[in-house]
Amino acid sequence: MNDSAIGIFDSGLGGLTAVKELVRVLPHENIIYFGDTARVPYGSRSKSTIIRYARQDADFLLSRGVKMIIAACGTVSSVATGLKDELPVPFTGVVVPTAEAAVRSTKNGRIGVIGTSATVNSGSYRQEILLRDSKIRVFQQDCPLFVSLVENGFISEKDDIVKLVVQRYLEKLKADGIDTLILGCTHFPIIARAISDYLGDGVTLINSGKETALYAAQLLKDRHLLTPCQSDGECRYFVSDTVEEFRRTAEIFLGRDVSTDVSHITL
């Protein structure tokens, strides 16, 4: 048993969807979240830059004494695949848990994947899906503007801008007849209702934040690292850019005020 915090990092705010799910699944755990808001987005960066940023993010969390690290970022999980072997604590990204859930979900063997350009170009989700079932057909689409929409508060399924961008990106996947769609960036669940409205009830959305939280909870249990404390855990948030902007937008992701729990750090 271990009452140290779980560390979570992302390029910005998207990883807060994983925080929300982790609090739901493991309410007694302490959580430290780092959002690298000064360098967001990661999805358009080179592979070497993404790996360097990921190492710096993980090093910060290790300096806070965390017992586990979660890369709640589809880009890092897809590109910085060697990070797991470099860390002295258990680690997971979002790709493996999400791919496993999608394979369990599909009925017609046609899975869609959406993410940042770096995530889609890496082919990470396709690889993990085909490792589990080589007969599945995987259809991919990068959706870089989704991150900008969410970061700037354009999240309503009734917003004409949101609907237009969703249609532009997803019309091909809809025509491909997918029955399962991986939301391969932790920003994307925030606009899941708009995505679902466009694709229809016949398509199951796989929330990478949710699946990663469930996977992390099982990993902690298997390694006997769950906290013995039965009181509610605490969440602390650190960002590399303005605290005020993070506080405002974090309420959209978490549904609660975090104004007293956010600090600025410089990597």
Question: Is it true that the peptide bond before 41 is cis, omega within 30 degrees of 0?
Answer: yes
**In sequence order, what are the residues at sequence separation of 6 or more whose Cβ sits closer than 8 angstroms to the Cβ of residue 106?**
136, 179, 180, 204
Distance separating alpha carbons of residues 115 and 210, to the nearest angstrom: 16
Beta carbons of 67 and 46 less than 8 angstroms apart: no
Tell me whether residue 73 is one of the annotated catalytic residues.
yes
Cβ atoms within 10 Å, residue 76: 30
**For residue 180, which of 203, 198, 211, 207 has the smallest C-alpha distance?**
203
**For residue 41, which of 71, 11, 13 has the smallest C-alpha distance?**
11
The H-assigned helical ranges of 176-231 are 192-199, 208-222
Distance separating alpha carbons of residues 106 and 112, to the nearest angstrom: 10
Tell me whether residue 185 is one of the annotated catalytic residues.
yes
Q: Quick one: tokens of 27? A: 């309410």
Q: Where are the beta strands (DSSP E) in the chain?
A: 6-10, 31-35, 68-71, 91-92, 110-115, 137-142, 180-183, 204-207, 235-239, 262-264
Cβ atoms within 10 Å, residue 255: 8
For the annotated catalytic residues, the residue numbers are 73, 185
